[in-house]
């Protein structure tokens, strides 16, 4: 199941530092939206607000048309519907890959290992890691650990997935396997938002690319519009500044 995510006029400050300044963004069902911007432009904060890890100061976030940004409501059930993967894989080192993946569903959905096993095996299979389930994180490459982190988020059956610079900590030769995992998810129809510096990937795979500058979306559109005339010169100038 996938869902639509909409943000209207989202503002967020840390103290006197305005980090998001009136973000309007629609991520339709099954779409991949890529956020591109310089360090400090607000990409992580935007993703964290979408996932309710940070409360917004103003504005609304809607998941399938229902407001989720109301600070009065419990964010936990919503967070389970919106998975997030970070630059650092954050796997528990003393647990195998499979145990890492089963941890949250066991605790939150109160499912046993045996009940989870077939589903978890299928996820490892799907992402080319069937033979790595019993490995500990330090026995896995960075690319494999990041794919385990993606599997862990998927085990909660999210309707939207958020990815924050998920290839930035990887050696260049390992980036491709994680991007392949994202391509696969997109092909399966997952709604996704990805903060990235992987311009080639954004250009090839995104439905929409958003350029973020000092907390505002300064350019957005499908790659076919913003990487070609008449907007290409502006795009080049922006990328020259941020990359």
Residues that bind ligand ATP (CB under 6 A): 14, 17, 19, 37, 39-45
What's the min distance (Å) between Cβ of 44 and ligand ATP? 3
Q: Which is nearer to ligand ATP, 41 or 96 (CB)?
A: 41
What's the min distance (Å) between Cβ of 94 and ligand ATP? 28
Q: Which is nearer to ligand ATP, 40 or 134 (CB)?
A: 40
Q: Give, in order, the Cα–Cα distances in Å from 184 to each of 63, 81, 150, 155, 205.
A: 23, 19, 12, 16, 11
Taking the CA atoms of 62, 54, 37 and 159 in sequence, report the sign of the dihedral they define.
negative
Q: Which is nearer to ligand ATP, 19 or 185 (CB)?
A: 19
Helix (H) or strand (E) holding 85: strand 82-85
Q: Shortest CA distance to 54 belongs to which of 8, 105, 89, 19? A: 19
What's the min distance (Å) between Cβ of 41 and ligand ATP? 4
Strand order in the sheet with 191-195: 82-85, 160-164, 191-195, 32-37, 208-213, 216-221
What's the min distance (Å) between Cβ of 90 and ligand ATP? 15
Q: Which is nearer to ligand ATP, 17 or 76 (CB)?
A: 17
What's the min distance (Å) between Cβ of 14 and ligand ATP? 3
Judge contact between 144 and 134, C-beta under 8 A.
no
Collapsed DSSP state (helix, strand, coil) of residue 114: helix
User: What does the alpha-carbon distance between residue 223 and residue 203 come to, in Å, rounded to a whole number?
Assistant: 5
Q: Which is nearer to ligand ATP, 8 or 87 (CB)?
A: 87
């Amino acid at each position: 199941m996938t869902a639509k995510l909409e943000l209207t006029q989202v503002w967020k400050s840390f103290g006197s530092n305005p980090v998001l300044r009136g973000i309007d963004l629609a991520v339709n069902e099954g779409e991949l939206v890529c956020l591109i911007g310089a360090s400090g432009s607000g990409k992580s904060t935007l993703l964290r607000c979408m996932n309710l890890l940070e409360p917004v100061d103003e504005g609304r976030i809607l998941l399938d048309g229902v407001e989720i940004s109301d600070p009065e409501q419990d964010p936990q059930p919503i967070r389970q519907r919106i998975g997030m993967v970070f630059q650092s894989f954050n796997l528990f080192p003393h647990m195998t890959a499979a145990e890492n993946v089963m941890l949250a569903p066991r605790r939150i959905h109160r499912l046993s290992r045996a009940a989870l096993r077939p589903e978890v095996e299928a996820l490892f299979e799907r992402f080319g890691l069937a033979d790595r389930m019993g490995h500990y994180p330090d026995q896995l490459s960075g690319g494999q650990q990041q794919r385990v982190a993606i599997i862990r988020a998927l085990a909660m059956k999210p309707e939207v997935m958020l990815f924050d610079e998920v290839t930035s900590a990887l050696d260049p030769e390992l980036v491709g396997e994680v991007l392949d995992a994202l391509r696969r998810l997109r092909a399966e129809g997952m709604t996704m938002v990805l903060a990235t510096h992987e311009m080639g990937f954004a250009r090839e795979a995104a439905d929409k690319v958003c350029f973020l500058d000092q907390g505002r979306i300064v350019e957005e559109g499908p790659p076919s519009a913003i990487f070609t005339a008449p907007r290409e010169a502006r795009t080049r100038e922006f990328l020259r500044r941020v990359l």
